[in-house]
Chains A and B, each alone.
Chain A
Amino acid sequence: MTVEMKSITDSIVKGDLEEAKKLVEQAVEEGVSPDEIVTQGLIVGMETVGEKWKCDEMFLPEVLRSASTMSKAMDIVRKDLSDTVTNMAGTMVIGTVEGDLHDIGKDLAGMIFEGAGYKVVNIGIDQPNEKFVEAVKEHKPDLLGISALLTTTMPRMGEVINSLKEAGIRDEVAVIIGGAPVTQEFADSIGADIYAPNARSGVDRAQAYFKNIA
């Protein structure tokens, strides 16, 4: 029995990880290209989820379950993807700045980017500037997400960007920032590339950014 892309999509919408993994593996065995599995199956699934979320048909816990399913199912074929597909959604490193222990905003953003196909490396809370630089060097992400929730720790976002400059790797990664007290003006003032008012719009704005520079 051949695996239909629609059944993969449905398993993402339902957030059924077992089903999704099984179908992806089966599809691989049948010779379906990883590119097709990802673009016609998994990503279509998350787009459907995104639409339903916009219309209040799906709720956040359900969306996150789908995102997690999508990410883990994608892990099966990630290494075999062509460059084109990999560039659609690459790697993201995300962390909270030093002195700030707030977790939830960053975690939420990370999960939603996973749902968009990114491989997300979450370096955690209270991270000194050097840790961000190290992580960028190690994982070579396309996107670096920096989170801060307090006005006292916001300036550190600028410091991280400066540290990247000093290490000579600023141009190798796009920086996206968000958090309740952050605004477009602040993002511009510290030289961030993308500003996300909330986790949902972050993905859209990142896609738009990458499209523009392509």
Chain B
Amino acid sequence: MNKTRVNLRENRTPQFQVFSEDQKETIFNGMIRTLEHTGANVHHEEARDLLASNGCRIEGKRAFIPPHLVKKALASLPPVTEVFCWDGDREKKIVIERGRSYFGPGPTPPNFIDIHTLERRPYLKEDARIVSTVVDALPNIDFCESLGTVSDVHPDLAASYEFATMFPNTSKPIVAWSYGWDDSADIHAIAVAEAGGQEAFEKRPNYVHYCEPLSPLVSTFEAVDKVIFAARHGVPVVFTTCALAGGTAPVTAAGIIVQTTAESFLGLVLAQTIRPGLPFFMGGVLSVMDMNAMILTYGAPELCLIMAGATELAHYVGIPLWQTGGCTDSKCLDEQAALEGALSSYFSALSGGDLCHDVGYTESGMTGSIFQTVMMDEAIGYSRRITRGIEVNEDTLATDVIHNVGPDGHYLYEDHTMRHFKTEFWYPTLCDRRNYEEWEAAGAKPMRQRVIDRTHAILGSHTPSAVRPETVEAIRTVMDAAEERIRNNL
């Protein structure tokens, strides 16, 4: 039987593109031009000096980056980066490589949806424990962020407490947010304690550092200080903005991508100058400014499109992308929250946008909801079945099986069915597929109720791994010192 095949080429997964190669080049060239001729304001003297001594033109606060420096920075980026779970779980580690996508919540909303009363209220330290515990349990969430700003501690220590609370409750990598150098150091000390020292940490980093400069083209002191911290300590770093098309960036998708990429690249050049090879992410929260509500929209279809375009540009030049998805402008857990969150999750998965954050953001980023995250865990599972694609081979084509069954037959008894039905199909956890009578008999629950029930079930049953005793001690020491620092500053 002549089944030897040659010249076979397959789509191993579905193929999705927004841009052609020429379009990516056009945008990249535009970005290079912007950095060279427009530059950015860098509100950090040490950074300006560093850039100057490496070939940048500085005029007052404005730094202009020449193209060759951009290329040099890109050339020193690692093609693959791993971020590890501190309990050594190999399956859950994050491998940053073009085409892989990972998902997690986001930082900083001032409010949180109380998991018992369902009320919207200020975010508390206990919520960080709740979020990290649930994140640890969800199969399709890969990294952790707090979904809030802790309000029941000293404001300057919100970030430190947040990390200290989350870290022991999830072994999944945290993308840490902080105000500046001091709390970055608090966070780093805790992570390093668990890793077993700075050297061990650099070999197997267990968290990512998040820095947010300002659009348009403003590298704030804090953001720059933190990227320098990350570079000096070997922490993979995100340096991205939250830009509003039509507000703090051009109203067009191409324009906002050009500008925000330039904003990220300022940090890229700086970071690579200090530490060539430091893993670095561009991207951000890039969406349109709603002209009625005057807010950055987290649910617009344009968000999905712009983020997908940005992902392609990033991968074109060999840099991973900090994506945004699973989020909504809705004020409650409803159809709007589901459809907006699902849409941005899907396109993040389709475009392979490396780390997709803000899964669980509601009310345009003003309120964190772990319910949203739980609901999106299902959506991400769904989209992962799609990005797996369709396998076409002799076995799956099943012509012999079709022959055996024939018209008038069925496939339920076939060996072929037994072999495939568990792996070929995705089985939902939250989406209901019962017939009407069974669903009604079980209480006629809409999805939102099932989401809430599942969240409570996870919290009631999930136990994360345990950190080392040294880490527990380190957390206590670090937080005591942090409190001391605050007292001394008063």
Contact = CB atoms under 8 A, between A and B. Distances in A.
Direct touching of A and B (C-beta under 8 Å): yes
Interface of A: 59-62, 64-65, 68, 103-104, 107-108, 111, 125, 197-198, 201
Nearest to A124: B408
Interface in B144-170: none
Q: Which 3 A-B residue pairings sit nearest by Cβ, starting from the closest? A: A197-B437, A61-B417, A64-B412
Interface string B399-437: 000000000101011000110011000000000000111
B413 A64 contact: yes
Contact of B418 (A61, A68, A125, A198): A61
Given A60-B412, A197-B436, 5 more contacts: A61-B412, A61-B413, A64-B412, A65-B418, A111-B412
Contacts of B413: 61, 64-65, 68
Nearest to B425: A59
Contacts of A65: 413, 418
Contacts, number: 31
A108 B435 CA distance: 15
10 contacts: A59-B422, A61-B412, A65-B413, A68-B413, A103-B410, A107-B410, A108-B412, A197-B438, A198-B435, A201-B438
Nearest to A64: B412
Contacts of A104: 410
Nearest to A125: B408
Nearest to B414: A61
Contacts of B422: 59
A176 to B, nearest CB: 15
Contacts of B438: 197-198, 201
Contacts of A64: 412-413
Nearest to B437: A197
Contact of B421 (A59, A68, A111): A59
Nearest to A62: B418
Contact of A61 (B421, B435, B436): B421
Contacts of A201: 437-438
Interface size grouping (class) on chain B: 10 to 19
A104 B412 CA distance: 10
A65 B417 CA distance: 11
A64 B413 CA distance: 7
Nearest to A108: B412
Nearest to A68: B413
Interface in B263-300: none
Nearest to A107: B410
Contacts of B410: 103-104, 107
A133 to B, nearest CB: 23
Contacts of B412: 60-61, 64, 107-108, 111
A126 to B, nearest CB: 11
B437 A198 contact: yes
Nearest to A63: B412
Nearest to B413: A64
Contacts of A198: 435, 437-438
Nearest to B420: A61
Contacts of B436: 197
A62 B415 CA distance: 11
Nearest to B408: A103
B436 to A, nearest CB: 8
Which of B412, B437, B438 counts the most A-chain CB atoms under 10 A from its CB?
Answer: B412
Which of A61, A104, A201 counts the most B-chain CB atoms under 10 A from its CB?
Answer: A61
A13 to B, nearest CB: 15
Contacts of B435: 197-198
Contacts of A107: 410, 412
B428 to A, nearest CB: 11
Interface in B220-255: none
A195 to B, nearest CB: 10
Contacts of B418: 61-62, 65
B96 to A, nearest CB: 35
A111 B410 CA distance: 12
Nearest to A184: B437
A61 B410 CA distance: 12
A120 B339 CA distance: 46
Contacts of A62: 418
A107 B438 CA distance: 21
B417 to A, nearest CB: 5
Nearest to A15: B418
B410 to A, nearest CB: 6
A107 B410 CA distance: 8
Contacts of A125: 408
Nearest to A56: B427
A30 to B, nearest CB: 31
Contacts of A111: 412
B359 to A, nearest CB: 26
B409 to A, nearest CB: 8
B431 to A, nearest CB: 13
A66 to B, nearest CB: 12
B139 to A, nearest CB: 16
Nearest to B419: A61
A9 to B, nearest CB: 21
A53 to B, nearest CB: 12
Interface in B176-218: none
Contacts of B408: 103, 125
A198 B422 CA distance: 23
A15 to B, nearest CB: 9
A210 B412 CA distance: 29
A140 B437 CA distance: 32
A59 B412 CA distance: 11
A200 B208 CA distance: 51
